[in-house]
């Protein structure tokens, strides 16, 4: 098997660290692995498959002889350095929102629209979708293929992992401060997150939806290849360390019964149905964290809509919602195109 030179940009961040775990777990065909980060992290040693790799400072010369560059360093860094990497000959798989809605950049979830990966040749860039969008569209794809989704109403319960390592550390610190009767420190998130919910993820737009909510609207349509799907979203940060949960209700052109939905999703790649209400079995973040599938339960026909279906979806934001999806894109890329 051919091996590839891979760079991980943002290797010391929460998603970057999980990327390294998954590259090792899935035995990605690596020839050389380069770890890149800001000057603050340059020189740091990170263990990888029995070796200690040194983190290098990200600069304009970082991508010589790199075949695939996995970016997880934020939108500003991606806007600056992804085109540089692409011009140097690397195929960039970018985890930020910088390129997602650009018409000539494919936005890919391999279980949903793998053929769009071929469009990378336009600019040598492939966009990795938003975590909440990925976790939702994987289970919805087989339902859309069968019954054509007309409308999606989604409310998210997003773990602090989505806000990065500092937010995860802050939740841990706030719980300890609460237990010890101390005043809580707030810095990574706009409000105390321990024992609280924050009904805002990202900044508000002119229509009073947040950017996170509009990502779910626009990205779902692009990934599904269907601009007619109506989507409304409410995104909420919750005091959970890892794994996002979503309450999703869809309306379809063709009625989908509960039994048919279970059949369709049970046979879909990347989906695991856990739906046994009699025995209180349904997906929960505490069970799903560290796994790769999108878990679905609480499946029921919507009593307020003749052709409606409601469900509960949980997925690990750091894995399928970010790092795993990017590496799955890379796997299809090397198998089909490189």
Contacts of residue 274, Cβ cutoff 8 Å, sequence gap at least 6: 281, 282, 283, 295, 296, 297
Same domain assignment for residues 191 and 293: yes
pLDDT of residue 74: 87
Interatomic CA distance for residues 208 and 194, integer angstroms: 26
For residues 239-268, b (16+ Cβ closer than 10 Å) or e, as one string? bbebbbbbebbbbbeeebeeeebbebbeeb
For residues 168-207, b (16+ Cβ closer than 10 Å) or e, as one string? bebbebbeeeeeeeeebeeebbeebbbeeebebbbeeeee
Interatomic CA distance for residues 60 and 29, integer angstroms: 25
pLDDT of residue 111: 98
Task: State which residues form the domain around 215.
Answer: 132-317
Same domain assignment for residues 170 and 305: yes
* Active-site entry in 131, 144, 294, 305: 131
Residue 174's domain is classified under what CATH number? 3.30.360.10
Same domain assignment for residues 278 and 299: yes
Same domain assignment for residues 269 and 244: yes
Same domain assignment for residues 183 and 218: yes
Count of domains for the chain: 2
pLDDT of residue 67: 98
Tokens in use for 223? 């990934």
Same domain assignment for residues 160 and 104: no
pTM: 0.96
Same domain assignment for residues 192 and 328: no
Question: Across the chain, which distance is largest between two alpha carbons, in Å?
Answer: 60
The reply to whether 294 belongs to the active site is: no
Minimal CA–CA distance to 97: which of 212, 12, 224, 209? Answer: 212
Same domain assignment for residues 147 and 248: yes
Same domain assignment for residues 118 and 146: no
Same domain assignment for residues 63 and 138: no
Residue 332's domain is classified under what CATH number? 3.40.50.720
Interatomic CA distance for residues 105 and 98, integer angstroms: 10
pLDDT of residue 313: 98
pLDDT of residue 165: 86
pLDDT of residue 228: 98
Same domain assignment for residues 169 and 101: no
Q: What is the pLDDT along the chain (338 residues), one digit of tens a residue?
A: 899 999 999 999 989 999 999 999 999 999 999 999 999 999 999 999 999 999 999 999 999 999 999 999 888 999 999 999 999 999 999 999 999 999 999 999 999 999 999 999 999 999 999 999 999 999 999 999 999 999 999 999 999 999 988 999 999 999 999 999 999 999 999 999 999 999 999 999 999 999 999 999 999 999 999 999 999 999 999 999 999 999 999 999 999 999 999 999 999 999 999 999 999 999 999 999 999 999 999 999 999 999 999 999 999 999 999 999 999 999 999 999 99
Quick check: 146 and 258 in contact, CB under 8 A?
A: no
Give 31-35 contacts, CB < 8 A, sequence gap 24+.
Answer: 31/3, 31/4, 31/5, 32/5, 32/6, 33/5, 33/6, 33/7, 33/8, 34/5, 34/6, 34/7, 34/8, 34/62, 34/66, 35/7, 35/8, 35/11
pLDDT of residue 148: 98
Same domain assignment for residues 116 and 202: no
Interatomic CA distance for residues 30 and 25, integer angstroms: 12
């Amino acid at each position: 098997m051919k091996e590839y030179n891979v760079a991980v940009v943002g290797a010391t961040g929460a998603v970057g660290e999980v990327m390294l775990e998954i590259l090792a777990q899935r035995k990605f065909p690596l020839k050389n692995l380069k770890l890149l980060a800001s000057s603050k992290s340059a020189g740091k040693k990170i263990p990888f498959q029995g070796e200690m790799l040194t983190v290098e400072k990200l600069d304009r010369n970082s991508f010589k002889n790199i075949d695939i560059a996995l970016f997880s360093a934020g939108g500003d860094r991606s806007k600056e350095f992804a085109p540089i990497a692409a011009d140097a000959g690397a195929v960039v798989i970018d985890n930020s929102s910088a390129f997602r809605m650009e018409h000539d950049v494919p936005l890919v979830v391999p279980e949903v629209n793998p053929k769009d990966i071929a469009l990378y040749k336009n600019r040598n860039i492939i966009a990795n979708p938003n975590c909440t969008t990925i976790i939702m569209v994987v289970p919805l794809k087989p339902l859309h293929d069968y019954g054509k989704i007309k409308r999606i109403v989604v409310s998210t319960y997003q773990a602090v992992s989505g806000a990065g390592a500092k937010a995860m550390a802050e939740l841990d610190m706030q719980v300890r401060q609460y237990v010890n009767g101390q005043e809580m420190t707030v810095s990574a998130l706009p409000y105390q997150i321990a024992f609280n919910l924050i009904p805002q993820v990202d900044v508000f737009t002119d229509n009073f939806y947040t950017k996170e909510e509009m990502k779910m609207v626009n990205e779902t349509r692009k990934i599904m290849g269907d601009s007619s799907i109506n989507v409304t979203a409410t995104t909420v940060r919750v005091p959970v360390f890892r794994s996002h949960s979503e309450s999703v209700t869809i309306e379809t052109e063709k009625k989908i019964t509960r039994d048919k939905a279970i059949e369709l999703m049970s046979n879909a790649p990347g989906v695991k149905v856990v739906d046994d209400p009699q025995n209180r079995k349904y997906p929960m973040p505490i069970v799903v964290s560290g796994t790769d599938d999108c878990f679905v339960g609480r499946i029921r026909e919507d009593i307020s809509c003749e052709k409606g279906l409601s469900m509960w979806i949980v997925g690990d934001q750091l894995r399928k919602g970010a790092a795993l999806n990017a590496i799955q894109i890379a796997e299809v890329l090397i198998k089909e195109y490189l």
